[in-house]
Structure 1
Amino acid sequence: MSTPPHELRDADAQPGVGVLHARLTNLTREEFAQKYWARTPLLTRGADDFTDLFSADAVDELISRRGLRTPFLRVAKDGATLPEASFTAPAGVGASIGDQLDDTALWRSFADGATLVLQALHRTWEPVTDFVARLGAELGHPVQANAYVTPPQNRGFDDHYDVHDVFVLQIAGTKRWMIHKPVHPDPLRDQPWTDHRDAVARAAKDEPHLDTVLAPGDVLYLPRGWLHAAEAQGAVSIHLTLGVHTWTRHTLAEQLAQSALALLRDDPEMRASLPLGTDGPGEELALIRQRLVAALTKTDPTPLFHRTRRGQARPAPLGPLAQLAAVEGLAPDTQVRLRASLEARLEGRRLHTRAGWLDLSEQDLPAVTRLLDGRDHAAHELGPELVERLLRAGVAVPGGS
């Protein structure tokens, strides 16, 4: 019997992995969802020690030794972003690409009061990569990570709002945050604060909803749309911002409309040309509305939702040499497991993952179902031929990975 669509998915995507409670809010996911999620800011004092995730040493290593290129770093001062050419340069023989970070130029900018913004740390710093993957799995929304490094008594950005929710994790130093209520609640991705610049400026002059100083270990949660500005106090401030790119009803509506339009492509009447000399929708609109409503009622956007969701994050890192060694050394007692953060989903006999899809035989389904629990399994339990195929596809990895 085939597995019903959308019934099975990998254990890494299951709720309750505990990052939200254990390290960010001291609340269960249910408590956080009921009282704060997408509603109001939350300040948690002394939530955790985050130096295992990031530190001043990490900042120096990323800027001076990793050969980072733009756009993995931005530089901001007095509310403006500096041009990339002011802090990038070639790096000598064998590394002549011109958009690499110039640590000397960055030092001079920083000493002059500029904020350094290390972007997409979930791609460049392993502890953050793992943490972001766990948080994204728990929240069910994709998460990114940036670090903000601000000299004493400086701010990088003026009052603004973000189009995603954020968790601010104070790593070092202290920073004063001024929070004001939204002027445009729940903004969509294409509704940036600059669309409401005047309203933001006026609101920033009002009494703040929250005026607080974050110290190391503190966490501040802000739903999208809440206005904020922050200024370092008496020492260099380092904080991580975890941006939660929330799924919205509008997103689902877009996907529903796309699915309906795809269905209408198979309707000969909908592909027909409008009358010659037409100057507007006219009488055609009634028919189009009727067919569109029927398609909206009939279509299912779920496959598009999951396909889009898989494309919004990456699977866990995979080492090609370790993977080849696992393939070449495959034995009955070899331990393998599902690669983490794959967003793996078994729909019928097709396994969809962020690494691609695989069609399976009826006989393979029980073994793949076991693999989706995220635990280690011996090759002889799953079948050596299937295990080799999954290893080569980058779906399975050596046990303990």
Structure 2
Amino acid sequence: MDVAGLMTWDDLNTLLTTQRLQPPRMRLHRGGPPLHVDDYTESVTTRRHTVWRRLQPAELHARLADGASLVLDSVDEMHRPIARLAEDIERMLRTHVQANLYASWTGTEGFGVHWDDHDTLVVQLDGSKHWRLYGTTRPYPLYRDIAQPDQPPEEPVADLVLHAGDVLYVPRGFWHAVAADQGARSLHVTCGLRTHTPTDLVAWVCEQLLVHEVWRRDLPRLDSPAEQAEVLRVLRKLLAEQLDDPLMLARYTRAMDSLAPGRMVPSLPYVGPVPADGDLRVRLTTARAVLEVGDDAVTLSAAGSVFEFAPGAEVALRPLVDGKTVALATLAAAAGLDVTVVAGLVQELVTGQVAVVGSMP
């Protein structure tokens, strides 16, 4: 994979310098638990009596040289190239992605042998990282589960080294240990994928069933066994009817896509109506918008909102749904519309918090 431009050490230095990254957003780990925040930051109280933590570079360097790993959560919210990577994965796999950044310098493991409750795609950005994968002792464990996995096997099932540009997939529940023990520093990003389980599906189906009065009633906990059995029969019938739909998983996926909020971005300085400026560029803030084309209208569902446009708007909306950043003039020309009309369409999307305009690349 070409990782050029995704994230550099200079980019990381800039984030650490310009952002107030309060723990646990930014933290250090060595062998498992996080280091105490006083080990590498100092407390600062402003004149307005707010308290924040100021990074101490010399102390940070000392902790990292002594084996700590630096972790920066949700770096996709702070660094546009990583956000684009996360959005591309979201568009392909149809689920939310959170990207965390990890930097380390020694053979000391930041977390020890552990497992994650979500699938992960690992992209090595710089240097090299030693991964030991031990397999799973409880298939598909969950964050909220009724049991924890047994202890990991003593011997790994895979022992490998990632170099810049390498990509590794780690299924949830796979015990693993990671260290930069190849004589080189390491910088990598992990893209965690939100799980979608039968529990999630049934919870969503139950919400759809709220249209039925019986699904909203109190449970007949104090009624006779016969009356309770009758209520359960009705509930079971309604639930079974929903699950018998062969398109149920497709409906669930479209619903989750249409609700995904994406990464909200303001459109400053354009706080009023979007100007009819052909050079102004627009993109969607969510990678999972759903575009449905009917005979009489085009419907865009995104970030929990639904927008309805005339059929001719499809040509202007399609590149945005595909993840492109496009100038208003380009959209207008493709759709055969005036730039003023396209600016009005885009204004609806900006107001609905599903699009952003500016001079973006």
TM-score (norm 1): 0.71
Amino acid at match of 2:348: R
Aligned to 1:320: 268
Q: Flag structure 1 segments of 5+ consecutive residues without an equivalent.
A: 1-22, 24-47
Q: 1:267 aligns with which of 205, 214, 222?
A: 214
Following superposition, the deviation at residue 89 of structure 1 comes to 3.8
For 1:389, the equivalent position in structure 2 comes to 348
Structure 1 residues 208 and 311, CA, compared in 2 at 3 Å: closer, same or farther? same
Q: Distance in 2 between matches of 1:385 and 1:124?
A: 29
Report the CA distance between 1:94 and its aligned residue: 6.6
Instruction: Give the Å deviation of 1:113.
Output: 1.8
Partners of 1:338 and 1:69 lie apart in 2 by 30
Conserved in 2, the CA contact under 8 Å of 1:88 and 1:102? yes
Does 2:319 match 1:365? no
Counterpart in 2 of 1:110? 64
- Residues 315 and 339 in structure 1, CA contact (< 8 A), matched pair in contact too: no
Per-residue deviation at 1:127?
A: 0.9
Q: Is it true that 1:78 corresponds to 2:78 in the alignment?
A: no
1:338 is displaced (CA, Å) by: 5.3
Determine if the alignment matches structure 1 residue 185 to structure 2 residue 139.
yes
1:383 shift after superposition: 6.1
Greater displacement, 142-151 / 289-298: 289-298
Q: Please report how far the alpha carbon of residue 358 of structure 1 lies from its aligned counterpart in structure 2 after TM superposition.
A: 4.7
Q: Which has the higher contact order (CA 8 A, sep 6+)?
A: 1
- The CA distance in 2 between the partners of 1:294 and 1:228, in whole Å, is 44
Give the deviation of 1:73 after TM superposition: 1.1
Measure how far apart 1:106 and its partner are.
2.9
Alpha-carbon displacement from aligned partner over 1:143-196 (angstroms, at most 9, x marks no partner): 11111112212110111111111122222232221111110112223249x923
Q: In the alignment, what sits opposite 1:63?
A: 16
Cα distance in 1 for partners of 2:281, 2:131 equals 47
Q: Distance in 2 between matches of 1:294 and 1:76?
A: 51
CA shift in 2, pair 1:386/1:181, >3 Å:
closer
RMSD between aligned residues: 3.4
Q: How does 1:293-304 map to 2 (within 5 A)?
A: 293-299=236-242
Match status 1:248 vs 2:197? yes
User: Structure 1 residues 216 and 398, CA, compared in 2 at 3 Å: closer, same or farther?
Assistant: closer
Q: CA deviation at 1:242?
A: 1.3
* Equivalent of 2:180 in 232, 235, 239: 232
Structure 2 unaligned residues grouped into runs of 5+: 321-329
For 2:276 and 2:110, locate their aligned partners in 1 and report how far apart those are by CA, in whole Å: 53
Correspondence list, 1:10-89, <5 A: 23=1, 48=2, 50-84=3-37, 86-89=39-42
Aligned: 1:125 with 2:79:
yes
Kept in 2, the 8 Å contact 1:377–1:399? The answer is no
- Which position in structure 2 is the counterpart of 1:45? none
Find the residue that maps to 2:208 and give its secondary structure: helix
Give the letter aligned to residue 389 of structure 1: E
Q: After superposition, give the CA deviation of every residue in 1:228-253 in whole Å (9 maximum; x if it has no partner).
A: 00121123222111112232333212
Identify the residue that residue 230 of structure 2 maps to in structure 1.
287
What is the CA-CA distance between 1:259 and the residue it aligns to? 2.8
Change (3 A) 1:87 1:282: farther
Determine the C-alpha separation between the residues in 2 that align with 1:281 and 1:187.
Answer: 38
Question: Any idea what SS the aligned residue of 2:144 has?
Answer: coil
Counterparts of 1:171-210 in structure 2 under 5 Å? Answer: 171-191=125-145, 195-196=148-149, 199-201=150-152, 203=153, 205=154, 207-210=155-158
Give the match for residue 288 of structure 2.
343
Give the structure 1 partner of residue 324 of structure 2. none
Question: Sequence identity, in percent?
Answer: 26
In 2: Cα distance, 1:388 partner to 1:173 partner: 44
Secondary structure (helix, strand or coil) at the match of 1:147 reads strand
Give the paired residue count.
335
Instruction: Indicate conservation of the 8 Å contact 1:89/1:98, yes or no.
Output: no
**Which of 275, 287, 306 is the equivalent residue of 1:329?**
275
Q: Which amino acid aligns with 1:119?
A: D
Q: CA deviation at 1:129?
A: 0.8
Give the secondary structure class of the aligned counterpart of 1:81: coil
Residue 359 to residue 374, structure 1, CA distance change in 2 (3 Å): closer
Say which is worse superposed, 249-258 or 288-297, in terms of deviation. Answer: 249-258
Q: Contact 2:283–2:356 at 8 Å: present in 1 too?
A: yes
The letter for the 1-side match of 2:142 is: L
Q: 1:369 to 1:96 in 2, by over 3 A?
A: farther
Instruction: Measure the CA separation in 2 of the matches of 1:213 and 1:346.
Output: 42
